[in-house]
Amino acid sequence: MKSHISRYNNVLIGDIEPANRLFLAPLAGLTDSPFRRIARKHGASLVFTELISVEGIVRNNSKTMELLNFTEEERPLGMQIFGSNPARMGEAAKIVTGLGPDLIDINMGCCVQKVCGSGSGAALLRDPLQVNAVAEAVVRNTHLPVTAKIRLGWDDDSRNYRDVVKSLEDAGVVMISVHGRTRAQKYTGAADWEAISEIAALSKVPVVGNGDISDYADALRRLETSGCAAVMIGRGALGNPWIFSGRTPDIEELIDQILAHCDLMSGWYGEYGHVLMRKHLAKYIHGKRNAAAIRGSLVKVNTRQDVVDIMEMLREGEAHSSGADMPAGA
Ligand SMILES: Cc1cc2nc3c(=O)[nH]c(=O)nc-3n(C[C@H](O)[C@H](O)[C@H](O)COP(=O)(O)O)c2cc1C
């Protein structure tokens, strides 16, 4: 059965047509290959790597190149790169193209000092001419569709998204994702969906709205009201890949998902994958009855058995909670 999120025309990104209009947003250190596979399985129709340094790519830095590894199950997959020097961006685009992703995305939204300090990420937004030069360099050096992910501007006094969008269109970018905040806001305040809608209306290329989508109904509402071609979900997908389908898992389905995630992590990273699993576990148990008690154990997770033990705590807590919720006398 077709999900009702695909009752609209799906977005066409060059010659890529994702199966619906819900995408997974890139989250550094979190949306790795295992998580991308999970998101795809749950219905995200397009996934992205985290932002990857063009300097690292051009120098063939092994840690950087590892971030570009992926499996076929993730397709369609966008590889997201960041940098500020057009020539280096072009070189990196050629290398990335050779790795065979479905599209290349340019990060123009990252707010961390390490990235902005070198003129990359959201710092590019301060200069629409540079936005154009960087995007054009990537477009010229790949046959793949090129997309960009932006914020609304650098700060409240420079919400220059109209100029930035025009620069990107002129460069040949075929889709623009918009996180509805400025760089100065980082993650504070609320995403400005009115500005996102304005961009969706003025842009000649499809626009993907992003920011603060917390559940499936919210995603549908944003699709309905923003005029965006698609929406992208980041933090809301952590510990809740069901956000892409609208399903609510019961406790056994949740546990199965956590253990499957754990096995994907160890398959990808080896035993250390269990340590990396800690941050996902914290998200999966969020809001559960004995989450506070479990949270204390997360820092000690090193093996699969540690995860299995935590699942037992989770199961016990939930059994307790359904009993507690029963009406008196039931
Ligand atoms: C921990 C973390 C890491 C992020 N890493 C990236 C990244 O690598 N590339 C990128 O374009 N955006 C990155 N973002 C921004 C998200 O993609 C997204 O734009 C933002 O979180 C708002 O969407 P959300 O409310 O659905 O999470 C990151 C955000 C967070 C919280």
> Among all residues, which ones are annotated catalytic?
110
Ligand 1 pocket by C-beta < 6 Å: which residues? 25-28, 50-51, 80, 107, 109-110, 149, 179, 210-213, 233-236
Q: Which residue has the tokens 């096995």?
A: 263
With beta carbons less than 8 A apart as the criterion, state whether 85 and 117 touch. no
pLDDT at position 330, please?
34
pLDDT over 60 (residue 328) = no
CA angle 200, 216, 324 (to 5 degrees): 155
Classify 216 in phi/psi space as left (phi over 0), alpha (psi -120 to 50) or beta: alpha
Mean pLDDT of the chain: 94
With beta carbons less than 8 A apart as the criterion, state whether 116 and 125 touch. no
Exposed, middle or buried: residue 109 (CB in 10 Å: 0-12, 13-18, 19+)? buried
pLDDT at position 8, please?
52
Lowest mean pLDDT segment, chosen from 178-182, 245-249, 312-316, 323-327:
323-327
Distance CA 122, CA 159 (A): 12
Domains and CATH numbers, the chain: 4-244 (3.20.20.70), 251-322 (1.10.1200)
Distance CA 13, CA 173 (A): 10
Confidence category of residue 9, pLDDT binned at 50, 70, 90: confident
pLDDT over 90 (residue 323) = no
Following DSSP, what letter does each residue of 314-329 receive, concatenated? HHHHHHHHHHHHSPTT
Following DSSP, what letter does each residue of 265-289 receive, concatenated? HHHHHTTHHHHHHHHHHHHHTTT-T
Confidence category of residue 5, pLDDT binned at 50, 70, 90: low
Work out the average pLDDT over 164-192.
98
Residue among 22, 23, 27 to mutate when testing ligand 1 (max atoms within 8 A of CB): 27
Classify 7 in phi/psi space as left (phi over 0), alpha (psi -120 to 50) or beta: alpha
Which CA distances in Å does 45 have to 24, 29, 206, 260, 311?
Answer: 8, 20, 15, 20, 29
Confidence category of residue 319, pLDDT binned at 50, 70, 90: confident
pLDDT over 50 (residue 16) = yes
Exposed, middle or buried: residue 237 (CB in 10 Å: 0-12, 13-18, 19+)? buried
With beta carbons less than 8 A apart as the criterion, state whether 158 and 115 touch. no
pLDDT over 50 (residue 329) = no
Residue nearest to atom 12 of ligand 1 (CA): 26
Residue nearest to atom 13 of ligand 1 (CA): 27
Could you tell me the distance, in angstroms and rounded to a whole number, from the CA of residue 74 to the centre of ligand 1? Answer: 19
pLDDT over 90 (residue 168) = yes
Residue among 47, 108, 235 to mutate when testing ligand 1 (max atoms within 8 A of CB): 235
Work out the average pLDDT over 144-167.
98
Work out the average pLDDT over 23-46.
98
Structure letter (DSSP) for residue 214: -
- What is the arrangement of strands in the sheet containing 175-182, beginning at the earlier edge strand? 22-24, 230-233, 207-210, 175-182, 146-153, 103-108, 77-82, 47-53
pLDDT at position 327, please?
42
β-bridge partners, 82? 53
pLDDT over 50 (residue 4) = no
Angle between helices 33-42 and 251-269 (to 10 degrees): 140
pLDDT at position 320, please?
77
Ligand 1 atom nearest to 235, measured from its CA: 27
Q: Is 252 helix (H, G, I), strand (E, B) or coil?
A: helix
Could you tell me the distance, in angstroms and rounded to a whole number, from the CA of residue 212 to the centre of ligand 1? Answer: 10
pLDDT over 90 (residue 179) = yes
Ligand 1 atom nearest to 213, measured from its CA: 26
Long-range Cβ contact pairs of 9-15 (< 8 A, separation 24 or more)? 10/45, 11/175, 11/206, 11/208, 11/229, 11/230, 12/206, 13/46, 13/103, 13/145, 13/147, 13/174, 13/175, 13/206, 14/103, 14/144, 14/145, 14/174, 15/145
pLDDT over 50 (residue 326) = no
Report the percentage of the chain scoring pLDDT > 90.
Answer: 92
